Structure 1
């Protein structure tokens, strides 16, 4: 006597439980089903074990029909290792209960797979637990199958999974392949084996892969080691992680700190912005500069489509004020905000990550087994990936202030971001494509803006004033950097069509003489930066001066005599004196003595207290440098500070200012009470 082989067992069970197939139409039905499963395994071969794609496996499906070969493999290879489980009688008893349960429920599946075994049915559950030494009923009720089980709850919560009962089918498949081997050295099923026990023709294996990942991340008794999964009667550390993640709801600062750390790492790639202001506490933390910058709002200020949402309110406050001072350069800022709905998912992922991280840190204190440590490491890596993936999904709203005309009010344009780049890179790409941030500026467009608004201050405007205008007024194009404006000015002066598409350039304007010094057009102009002294001049005004200078007679003050070369002396003869022949006229009156030049300079200027550094730098470059460069010049600069504080100065400010004044070697300083 010898026990029946697996193939013989297939035939015995099939004959005992099903009538033989005699009708040719039934043979055809069997062959169609077998071919559909075989085609699925061949087409989606990367999702299933390699042996399934062979023609031999199709023959096995026909031989075991209407039971899937995977059911017999699990019963004869795994369950038969149990001491009390009889290979033929045990399989027969179990399958009889399974088939009766499916018949009562009216199940119309083409084959009976491990995923079709109704483990929640008391008769089936009895057959699946009577041979196991440990108490598996609580495990089944919580994590495998039953009215209050986790898989059923997940299927209800996720419609895409619930449509196929994917989590429930995955859990049944894992249980059938892992419960009898709980103490084996090489436990569990690979993910491909799990899918083999679940997926039917017409269904997507990816859906069941998603269900498997969700179960592994939430189940109390489901273990994972790489691609292998199994149930155990010993709880995993998942429950501990869930409890710790729940506790972190009361420690929001820790979660926010983790998210801010990750955001700052992502924002190291600045895109086209000169600077990123990450999670400022208030407008005081956002500097008031001319170059384009991105302000990433804190998670306290998410965006939603509700009017008056927190993100727009926070962006407005920062745009309008820097602390207690009105913000000047409003056109330099755009904002990035989190989506209110997605923020909940990001918060959950961050709490899970911190929970698993704390468990690993305390692994020795918690006395975790090596397998539990490995599980914690796997779950930590998964949680880390989830947080990384959800940050760009959450921070997807770009808020840009827009203004059509100088007279209209500022409105906010909310732009949804997409793509795989870093946050700032995605934001700058979208702004560029929507022309809300310019990285290049044509001279013709600068001329258009000069005339449209207009930006002229009379017949000209300084380059520095233009740079300030473009950074300040939201109705103008937003420039990446003031150097773009400088390039546009240089290009506009050098155009052959400067009168129509460009402008002229002058070093300065002499108000007493009513003329421009260093007036140029159709030639290259080199400017160091936007703070360089220089004027953009209206073409018609430049043409008038150039025409007047060209038409000035040779005897005029600044012309040269006809035929004279550059630098020729300007000789003036009294009126009526002949140019050729005649006697030399008598000498005229003695020329006046040379004009005495000034020997001293003094000047007083009031600086904007919020921009002292910038203004002082300009004064040093444009005034002090010219005076100090003269031979023998002695230049003294004295800075006088006067501050009136009606509410009084706090003690800590008095101490700070007094100490800093001493350090900076003030000759005199002090506070007064009256």
Structure 2
């Protein structure tokens, strides 16, 4: 079942609904009731008790009154002394209607149980005398005339009201002379009028006008006090008469110094015989206000469901709310105060009631009547009326609230708290999560209700300024809402509002602008290009990682056009937004196509990082905030700005918070990775430049690693490459038009230039791929040069470590296989020839082999072949002959200067290594370099050659 809003369950009284209530109607005036001129709700006893909640204190008092009037005990004198607006006059009115007996007890709601408890069947009708100090003010100097009787004093007024002319006759002389009558005379008058009740209201106001040493027609200061003393003593002797007197609670309510003096004296005389009276408790105030402002709750079950939903929500979020919300009786508090949240009453009765002019009950009624009227007329559909519900945008409600506060709250409310122009409205409108629940406005209203009484007011409610976060949230959140949204709202407000202060997890508004106003003024001093952009650039720091260089806000002319992979961070105005032609694309394209005035060749070596369109404005604002806070902190340190201790701490804390938020915001803003590419198919041309875009995780610790990860995942950067992909690329773009070999270095360089080719991390990536594939017959062969149809330094299906230079060739597999077969055949032929030389055929008897051996035969036979008779001797001599071994080798070779590296490598492999294999060989290799230029060598060349020769340990070197 869905919860019903308060407006469907609790209907306000008609005067509240229509806004026809008058401020004076909230002020009970006992004199007007006594004279019969009060409004109906006070004049009519039945209506009065219908809208009056009988508190525990009032019940005890009425019990004492009925017992006293019935002669069954009770207190003769009761002093009502509570805080301003504590219900003293209202209580006197309850006694007045009860004692008069005009309306039957059964028609006065709540009276019958009191009579039953006192054991009284029918209460006797009593005479009632009302002495209202405000209404009697003029009596002190201006006598009153009742027919033929002239009354000059308050005791004369009392006698006249109790017994008319006969009673007045007993004090006529004292009235004429202004002297106080004795207690015997007063006791006689009271006894003759019993049962009777004397109600004194605002007595201090009347007595305080009598200055010491000054005589008025109504008597003197001393005679007034003497009269009170005699009256209180006289009442003790009359068992069915009672006096109720209300006195101010504090010196402030007493007014002048004379009033304070009168209060002290009256407290002394009443204190001798007074009975204690329990003031209105906060829980009872719930019912008092509800009865006065609302009709009976129409659907009690629906109201309880709402209250239970609140209690369950508080239990589920216990860590974020005040401890008392977890107590079992908090649900009962919700029920008792419904449809007004208990937190509203707590703030008004605990905080606002400490203000000089705020009356505890009357002030609450006046304010809440205006609140309810405005909420009703604007169609408020909240579950309960909370502190966050107060419509402070309404002029009547606002004026009622700030009436009790010091001057200066209007701009605070207009600028920071509520209304169309308030910063909270702007924040709510800017973020849907806030706007959907009016988060910032509700927070501001709660802070205002909980902190305004302490803003410069004398005698503030709390020792520590401000309202705690947990109590602030209690004033805002409703069942079903995410409490975290309000926490976010608080943080946003602290950063934005000019009159909101915070410290130690407490928040308060003040009429004095906080440091934010100073900060906002300073923000306007900073220039985007001179101050903001350099600041952002300083915050954009990247580890080198895969990039040979990172260029932040760098002009195209300063971005090198070389073989290094480079990250280009676009400037703040070059923003990117998904799904739209963005300035970032235009800026990146301009850098990609040219380096200053020259066309850019190595286009496939650039990756771009762009700021987010939606975030850049917030980043700029955050930067100016950080700069402004830093200037404030610096000025304080240098003595150029004077702040108190709290403000100094706030400035430093705000700077820390701004810098922390700035780092996070920089990462959240510069988050779009842009990679250029082109589509191309052989014979069909090359397409237009396209841009792949990817989001970079702003939470990544190492942004460079995160960028590399994204590029690798989407194959926009190759760090490890399979030989098959290299072979496929070569087959598509390089081995064509009868070209069977291509330079490896040329291949690398073209991948750096053309966007339709793979983007390799570095040249070593290609070299490693070549090394991995050359051991197979499936991909390619390699060589270090070519002369005619022959490859030099050829490798195919052999493991080797290639040297990536301009001599290295990548050979198409079929051509490599064919050349390998040719080499194999040549090797086989050489081997067969070598074997033929090592094993010549022996001569036959007919000399058939002699011709085939030719000169070899002659070189081996020598002189021994001349005669046959000595053949055995000559054969022995030939077999014993030995040839001496060579012990020294020397060789020199001239190398082609342009192929020196390749040719020297061959010399080293084919010659030098044969000697180096034997550790006993003493091997010495020297290199001679001779260069000649008819026009002469430049100084720079000479300097470089000499430096390099020195580094390479040349024994001698010089220029002629």
- Say whether the fold is shared (TM-score over 0.5): yes
Return the offset for 1:231.
Answer: 0.5
The answer (yes or no) to whether the contact 1:337–1:396 under 8 Å persists in 2 is: yes
Match of 1:101 in 2: 374
SS of the residue corresponding to residue 289 of structure 2 reads helix
Q: What CA deviation, in whole Å up to 9, does each residue of 1:331-375 have, x standing for no partner?
A: 222222223443222212211111111111112422112222232
In the TM superposition, 1:541-620 aligns within 5 A as 541-552=815-826, 556=829, 558-561=830-833, 582-583=849-850, 585-587=853-855
In the TM superposition, 1:508-527 aligns within 5 A as 508-511=784-787, 514-527=789-802
The answer (yes or no) to whether the contact 2:677–2:689 under 8 Å persists in 1 is: yes
Return the offset for 1:511.
Answer: 0.9
Match of 1:437 in 2: 717
Return the offset for 1:97.
Answer: 3.0
In the TM superposition, 1:158-557 aligns within 5 A as 158-182=431-455, 185-248=463-526, 250-264=527-541, 267-268=542-543, 270=544, 272-289=546-563, 291-303=564-576, 310-363=583-636, 364-405=639-680, 407-419=685-697, 420-421=699-700, 422-455=702-735, 458-495=739-776, 498-499=777-778, 502-506=779-783, 508-511=784-787, 514-527=789-802, 530-531=804-805, 534-552=808-826, 556=829
- Bigger shift: 178-187 or 59-68? 178-187
Q: What CA deviation, in whole Å up to 9, does each residue of 1:81-121 have, x standing for no partner?
A: 33443333332333233233333434332211111222333
Q: Residues 94 and 366 from structure 1, CA distance in 2 versus in 1: closer, same or farther, beyond 3 angstroms?
A: same
What is the TM-score with the length of structure 2 in the denominator?
A: 0.58
The answer (yes or no) to whether the contact 1:288–1:327 under 8 Å persists in 2 is: no
Match of 2:294 in 1: 18
- Bigger shift: 27-36 or 314-323? 314-323
Q: What CA deviation, in whole Å up to 9, does each residue of 1:254-273 have, x standing for no partner?
A: 10110000012xx12x4543
CA distance in 2, matches of 1:661, 1:553: 46
SS of the residue corresponding to residue 516 of structure 1 reads strand
Point out where structure 2 has 5 or more consecutive residues left out of the alignment.
1-276, 457-461, 860-889, 913-923, 948-960
CA distance in 1, matches of 2:903, 2:539: 47
SS of the residue corresponding to residue 494 of structure 1 reads coil
CA distance in 2, matches of 1:623, 1:520: 16
CA distance in 1, matches of 2:907, 2:571: 49
Q: Residues 141 and 544 from structure 1, CA distance in 2 versus in 1: closer, same or farther, beyond 3 angstroms?
A: closer
Return the offset for 1:149.
Answer: 2.6
CA distance in 1, matches of 2:808, 2:375: 89
Q: Residues 162 and 321 from structure 1, CA distance in 2 versus in 1: closer, same or farther, beyond 3 angstroms?
A: closer
Query: Residue 413 of structure 2: which of 137, 140, 165 is its match?
Result: 140
Return the offset for 1:178.
Answer: 0.5
CA distance in 1, matches of 2:362, 2:386: 20
CA distance in 2, matches of 1:640, 1:237: 79
SS of the residue corresponding to residue 67 of structure 1 reads coil
Q: What CA deviation, in whole Å up to 9, does each residue of 1:574-616 have, x standing for no partner?
A: 9x999x983373417999xxxx98766685x8xxxxxxxxxxx
The answer (yes or no) to whether the contact 2:734–2:742 under 8 Å persists in 1 is: no
Return the offset for 1:538.
Answer: 2.0
Return the offset for 1:490.
Answer: 1.4
Return the offset for 1:59.
Answer: 1.6
SS of the residue corresponding to residue 615 of structure 2 reads helix
Return the offset for 1:560.
Answer: 4.6
CA distance in 2, matches of 1:309, 1:416: 14
- Bigger shift: 171-180 or 10-19? 10-19
Q: Does residue 4 of the first structure (1) align with residue 292 of the second (2)?
A: no
What is the TM-score with the length of structure 1 in the denominator?
A: 0.80
SS of the residue corresponding to residue 393 of structure 2 reads coil
Q: Which has the larger radius of gyration?
A: 2
CA distance in 2, matches of 1:4, 1:577: 149
Q: Residues 284 and 636 from structure 1, CA distance in 2 versus in 1: closer, same or farther, beyond 3 angstroms?
A: farther
Point out where structure 1 has 5 or more consecutive residues left out of the alignment.
606-618, 644-656, 668-674
Q: What CA deviation, in whole Å up to 9, does each residue of 1:255-309 have, x standing for no partner?
A: 0110000012xx12x45434323322223332411x4322212224334579875
Query: Residue 92 of structure 1: which of 365, 370, 383 is its match?
Result: 365
Q: Residues 640 and 32 from structure 1, CA distance in 2 versus in 1: closer, same or farther, beyond 3 angstroms?
A: farther
CA distance in 2, matches of 1:642, 1:175: 89
SS of the residue corresponding to residue 247 of structure 1 reads coil
SS of the residue corresponding to residue 508 of structure 2 reads strand
- Bigger shift: 222-231 or 90-99? 90-99
Match of 1:648 in 2: none
Query: Residue 928 of structure 2: which of 624, 628, 634 is its match?
Result: 634
Return the offset for 1:328.
Answer: 3.3
The answer (yes or no) to whether the contact 1:302–1:311 under 8 Å persists in 2 is: yes
CA distance in 2, matches of 1:252, 1:467: 39
Q: Residues 394 and 530 from structure 1, CA distance in 2 versus in 1: closer, same or farther, beyond 3 angstroms?
A: farther
Return the offset for 1:661.
Answer: 9.7
Q: Residues 165 and 598 from structure 1, CA distance in 2 versus in 1: closer, same or farther, beyond 3 angstroms?
A: same
Return the offset for 1:447.
Answer: 1.0
Return the offset for 1:662.
Answer: 11
Q: What CA deviation, in whole Å up to 9, does each residue of 1:132-187 have, x standing for no partner?
A: 34532332232222443322333344444333332221111100000112355411
Q: What CA deviation, in whole Å up to 9, does each residue of 1:438-483 have, x standing for no partner?
A: 1221011111111111357832223322222222222211111222
Return the offset for 1:225.
Answer: 1.5
The answer (yes or no) to whether the contact 1:294–1:424 under 8 Å persists in 2 is: no
Q: Does residue 67 of the first structure (1) align with residue 340 of the second (2)?
A: yes
The answer (yes or no) to whether the contact 1:145–1:171 under 8 Å persists in 2 is: yes
SS of the residue corresponding to residue 831 of structure 2 reads coil
CA distance in 2, matches of 1:442, 1:666: 43
CA distance in 1, matches of 2:315, 2:493: 27
The answer (yes or no) to whether the contact 2:515–2:651 under 8 Å persists in 1 is: yes
- Aligned-residue Cα RMSD (Å) equals 3.8
Match of 2:326 in 1: 53
Q: Residues 632 and 100 from structure 1, CA distance in 2 versus in 1: closer, same or farther, beyond 3 angstroms?
A: closer
CA distance in 1, matches of 2:383, 2:550: 59
Q: Residues 231 and 642 from structure 1, CA distance in 2 versus in 1: closer, same or farther, beyond 3 angstroms?
A: farther
Q: What CA deviation, in whole Å up to 9, does each residue of 1:206-234 have, x standing for no partner?
A: 33333322222121110011422100111
Return the offset for 1:631.
Answer: 4.3
The answer (yes or no) to whether the contact 1:417–1:427 under 8 Å persists in 2 is: no
Q: What CA deviation, in whole Å up to 9, does each residue of 1:609-643 have, x standing for no partner?
A: xxxxxxxxxx9966899999994543256899999
